[in-house]
Structure 1
Amino acid sequence: MTKTGLIIRHVPHEGLAGYREPIEAAGYDLARIDVSDPAFGAIDLGEPDLLIMMGGPMGVYEQHEHPWIACQMRRLARRLDAGRPTLGVCFGAQMMAAALGARVYPGPAKEVGFHALDFVDPASPLRHLAGTPVLHWHGDTFDLPDDVDLLASTAGYPHQAFRRGNAILALQFHAEMGLDPRFEEWLRQWPDALVETGGSVEAMRALHRRLGPPAVAAGRAMIAEWLAGLPD
């Protein structure tokens, strides 16, 4: 029987990217909905076999500007309480932390660029990322929720990834990015983030060309192993 997967996209230029290949190879028939879709509020987030929430420039604490955040978080909390397979990336990971009762807030400084994680749990699927520079592009962080395992850290952002059991995986970084042409939209929309962190559009574009493909290869291996370990 085909398994169902639902991608929640918070902005058009932050999609599934490199993670699509291993998820479809694992047998998931993927659908997508944008939070701007009028039908989003009526979607049962507990129904899909796999829920995937991608990134976005908004903060979890900006619910007055984005009323859909509170609506999404209520439905997400019910799914997580039921232990249903869920993957969150960047803003998606922050939503998961908040739905599990943790605080989400601005970090000490923006973390933007390609660099390796300082700590990776070698007994987790993230072992595929050890030593491989992956894309970081975030300014928010979160406290670690109760009853989760910390899987990765950097010096500036010690809570880079966590899981609860085998079914719930939250990733602050972007190991899905490195081959997707939509990265040009990131560079167009947020050049100030590069300047703020001592970089430039040209330098980031060159890093993306050089470091992006191995980052995506490692990210795909991570996701494939995580999916293989999901409970039946």
Structure 2
Amino acid sequence: MKRALVLRHVDHEGIAGYREPVEAAEYDIQRVAAHHAGCAKLDTMSPDLLVVMGGPMGVYDTDRFPWLIDEIAVIRRRLIADRPTLGICLGSQLIAAAMGVDVRKGPVREIGFAPLDITEAGAQGPLRQLAGVDVLHWHGDTFDVPEGTDLLATTPLYAQAFARGRNVLALQFHAEMGEDDRFEHWLANDTADIAAAGNTAEELRADHDAKGPRAVAAGRAMIAEWLAGLS
């Protein structure tokens, strides 16, 4: 069986809705807390798939979280080898940093369900599954689109997804979150950011109940299509 290594940065940001298509594609999933395991000592090259999850820290917070330096380095080695790699939120930002571009605070916190603007390149690949679907956004950082990649989706203020060839996919948004009870942990742990974004926990919970199932179904279809196209 193929192996997928999932790097987590906080317990309440796991693979969530993407687990189903990854397992359906016959990957055995191993989960590792990147900040505890010591990324430099991890075998991140032999897994058939590396999934880098989100977290509340920023790529630039290396003074507070020095292990980020090692994590970027191991991601860079995997990218050089063109090994299948998927990044979500912080994971997408770490991929961008590993490709040598600037990752920084964005103009506003983007929290809540909203549609993506799918680019022409995105409409020709797995991101087409998300056309017209409100997906969950929960971020405040942004990045330059790395050279040699295709921009797949945007919102008015943020690049939302890019890909390099078939094997590297970076997603700023959270189409994996729609049916997972851990959403309540997000609401409980990010009250200040929710308020700063002009939202309330009650509004987000209602949107999660109404829009989450469709978003996660579309996200699963997107990941299944991407996995089927890996080289």
Normalized against structure 2, the TM-score is what? 0.97
- Gap runs ≥5 in structure 1: none
One-letter identity of the residue aligned with 1:192 = A
One-letter identity of the residue aligned with 1:198 = G
Distance 1:86 1:38, change over 3 A: closer
Matched, 1:173 2:173: yes
Q: Are 1:34 and 1:40, in contact at CA under 8 Å, matched by a contact in 2?
A: no
Partner of 2:129: 128
Partner of 2:19: 20
Partner of 1:3: 2
The share of aligned pairs that are identical, in percent, is 55
Matched, 1:155 2:156: yes
* Corresponding residue SS for 1:175: coil
Report the more deviating stretch, 44-53 or 13-22. Answer: 44-53
CA distance in 1, matches of 2:34, 2:80: 22
Partner of 2:89: 90
Q: Are 1:33 and 1:40, in contact at CA under 8 Å, matched by a contact in 2?
A: no
One-letter identity of the residue aligned with 2:27 = Y
* Corresponding residue SS for 2:123: coil
CA distance in 1, matches of 2:178, 2:37: 31
Q: How does 1:1-232 map to 2 (within 5 A)?
A: 2-38=1-37, 40-120=39-119, 121-157=122-158, 159-231=159-231
- Gap runs ≥5 in structure 2: none
How many pairs were matched up? Answer: 229
CA distance in 1, matches of 2:169, 2:37: 28
CA distance in 2, matches of 1:3, 1:38: 22
Residue 40 of structure 1, CA deviation: 4.2
One-letter identity of the residue aligned with 2:142 = T
One-letter identity of the residue aligned with 1:63 = T
* Corresponding residue SS for 2:112: strand
CA distance in 2, matches of 1:197, 1:24: 35
CA distance in 2, matches of 1:39, 1:99: 17
CA distance in 2, matches of 1:61, 1:126: 28
Q: Are 2:112 and 2:137, in contact at CA under 8 Å, matched by a contact in 1?
A: yes
One-letter identity of the residue aligned with 1:211 = K
One-letter identity of the residue aligned with 2:80 = D
